């Protein structure tokens, strides 16, 4: 299975929005950060807005932000919204010309496999991909000062988790 470029760009765009929190991001900034064509990205941004993943703002100071908290954006839902129009195999297409379709048993198996793929991604959220991911924050943050604040917060969270892990074996003994 291979994802379309649009799906790949959609996930990257959402990651830029998530890393940059409440900040309004611009298409040009995202295109530069994720190494994408602004023209191709415009189509992706339009669909992300139509499907309710982002809120777009027009005008001179326009751009876009996440329409939902990152914890509520399922990677499976994003993939489905971008991949639904692309048949996985010819027999899933309305314009199927395969002469084997009436007798072929493969279609049902592939349909279940594709659904299992999406079902695996459904519980994965945008938050899971970006939270305390300092490498990603370094690459995608459009604000150096905010990046440092997030990095410090993540270091505190990781230190607290390490402290809890160290205390747990001591209590067990």
| pTM of the full structure | 0.79
CA distance 65 to 150: 18
- Pick from 3, 23, 64: nearest CA to 150: 23
124: left (phi over 0), alpha (psi -120 to 50) or beta: beta
Buried b (16+ CB within 10 A) or exposed e, 62-88: ebbbbbeebeebbbbbbbbbbbeeeeb
Task: Give the class (CATH, top level) of 5-131.
Answer: mainly alpha
Q: Is the dihedral of CA 25, 26, 29, 34 positive or negative?
A: positive
Per-residue tens of pLDDT for the chain, all 173 residues: 678 899 999 999 999 999 998 889 999 999 999 999 999 999 999 999 999 999 999 888 889 999 999 999 999 999 999 987 776 766 676 777 778 777 888 878 888 888 899 999 999 999 999 998 989 988 999 876 555 555 666 777 777 777 777 766 655 55
């Amino acid at each position: 299975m291979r994802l379309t470029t649009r799906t790949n760009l959609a996930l990257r765009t959402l990651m830029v929005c998530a890393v940059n929190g409440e900040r309004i991001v611009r298409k040009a900034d995202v295109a530069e950060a994720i190494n994408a064509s602004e023209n191709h990205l415009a189509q992706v941004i339009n669909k992300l807005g139509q499907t309710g993943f982002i809120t777009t703002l027009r005008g001179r100071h326009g751009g876009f932000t996440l329409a939902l908290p990152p914890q509520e954006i399922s990677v499976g839902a994003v993939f489905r919204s971008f991949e639904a129009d692309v048949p996985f195999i010819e027999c899933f297409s309305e314009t199927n010309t395969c002469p084997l379709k009436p007798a072929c048993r493969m279609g049902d198996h592939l349909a279940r496999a594709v659904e299992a793929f999406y079902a695996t991604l459904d519980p994965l959220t945008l938050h899971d991909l970006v939270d305390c991911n300092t490498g990603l924050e370094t690459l995608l943050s459009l604000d150096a000062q905010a990046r440092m604040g997030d990095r410090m917060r993540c270091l505190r969270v990781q230190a607290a988790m390490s402290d809890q892990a160290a205390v747990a074996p001591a209590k067990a003994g």
